[in-house]
Amino acid sequence: MSIWDKAKAKAEELLGRAEQVYGESHGDAAATTAGEAHLLEAEAEEAREREEHRRDDDGLAGAR
């Protein structure tokens, strides 16, 4: 995952949290749900990145 993908995922997470808080504070269930969806998408993207990184590591780096 490139730096831009990481930044995009973080921005998505922040947008989702802001939308969720807005929905909660204004009693807007649709905004709250949409915010939660943005958060889940961002968390899923970060989880995919961590899993991809784990698959690339065979544990032998540095072994001679």
15, part of any domain: yes
Residue 12 structural domain: 3-53
pTM of structure: 0.66
50-61 pLDDT tens trace? 887 776 656 666
40, part of any domain: yes
- Provide long-range contacts, Cβ within 8 A and 24+ apart, for 35-39: 38/12, 38/13, 39/13
Tokens found for residue 57: 């590591």
58, part of any domain: no
pLDDT at 13: 87
Strand stretches in 1-64, DSSP E: none
32, part of any domain: yes
Distance in Å from the first CA to the final CA of the chain: 28
Q: Using the Cα atoms of residue 24, residue 30, residue 31 and residue 36 in order, give the sign of their dihedral.
A: positive
9, part of any domain: yes
pLDDT at 51: 81
14-52 pLDDT tens trace? 888 899 999 989 999 998 898 888 888 888 888 888 887
Q: How many domains does the chain have?
A: 1
Can you tell me the distance from the alpha carbon of 12 to that of 42, in angstroms, rounded to the nearest whole number? 6
